[in-house]
Amino acid sequence: MSQAISGPYAARILADLGADVVRVESPRTDVTEYFGVVRDGRAGMFAQMNTGKRSIGVDLAVAGATGLITDLARRADVLIENFRPGVMDRLGLGYGQLSSANPALVMLSISGFGPAGPDAQRRALAPVIHAESGLLARQAELDERPPTDLPMALADTLTALHATVALLAALHQRTATGLGQHIDLSMLAAIAATDDHAHAVLDGTGEAYSSRGTIWRAPGGPLLIAAPPKHAWSMLSRAGLVTDPAPPGTDLPTKFRLRQQAIQDWIIGFTDRESLVAALESAGVAWGDVRDSADVFAGGAHSVSVPGSERRVTGLPYHFSAAQPAIRRRAPRRGEHNAEVLADWLGLDRTAVDGLAARGVLIAS
């Protein structure tokens, strides 16, 4: 019961790992439907987040819908939702109500800023969390330019990964206790927990510093050295590849500028990229080509085909020695599996399903 990326991507991972995932879709359009080419009736981003699932369409505003969801929750191992805090309780579908129906249920609630507090009810898409988490301010300070957002929904995807870890841990604990539990996960907390530079703030220094790579002009196109200029200088000078252009007594800003220029001059002094790369390798310097995304996925790399479709989507990065993640079906249309899911999960026959549709509880498109 989730929208956009954070909840759906966590459920997509579970689907690829073998879970029977049922997406409960409302009459409203998911924001991911606005991104990408439409194939098989679904946009590219929606397909990437929801391939492999089945779909039932449920209008939660119609009488009887809450009872249907409760019946499904009785049979479920996991329920994922990312409504704003309090919505599920108002619908009669909060953890208290559902755990009474199914004490073994593991329920995950994703929010932007947590279930309580002054920001709990704010609309929290990934860019909002990027700004509120300090990432954009740090990036702007390091680059000495105005803040700009990130080119991917990092807050959503990191939250989805933390969500999957939490769900699997709760399911593992359930094998010992027989009981489920409720997991609250905020997007802001997920980013904060994953910020590898948080120690500077926690230790009280607070200064922005960079462990990022630096892009240099190079023969054959831009090249990244996996270090800021100061550390790149140390590695290259230790290897005897560059000499210090700064006279003794030079002030630090001038010394930094001259050394940075010396690195750039050394790089563009090579006539071909292969010789440059060989020199970097000899010095133990990690480097990278600045590739276009199309190059990364060229030839089917890092993606998998969708059964019954011409579409490819990103695949899971795990390579198990005794198992194989798989996509079983294309991204579903809203309500495509109404009858199938309700027969499998609840044993409802066609007459019962048609009755729910006639009352407007079930929807399809």
Catalytic (active-site) positions: 156
**How distant, in Å, are the alpha carbons of 35, 50, 352 from that of 4?**
11, 10, 31
Name, in order, each residue with C-beta under 8 angstroms of 102's C-beta and a sequence gap of 6 or more. Answer: 73, 74, 75, 76, 180
User: Do 130 and 136 touch, CB atoms closer than 8 A?
Assistant: yes
Look-up: residue for tokens 């999957």?
164
User: Do 9 and 3 touch, CB atoms closer than 8 A?
Assistant: no
Q: What is the dihedral of CA 251, 257, 260, 261, to 10 degrees?
A: -120
**Taking the chain, what is the end-to-end CA distance rounded to the nearest angstrom?**
18
Name, in order, each residue with C-beta under 8 angstroms of 91's C-beta and a sequence gap of 6 or more. Answer: 60, 66
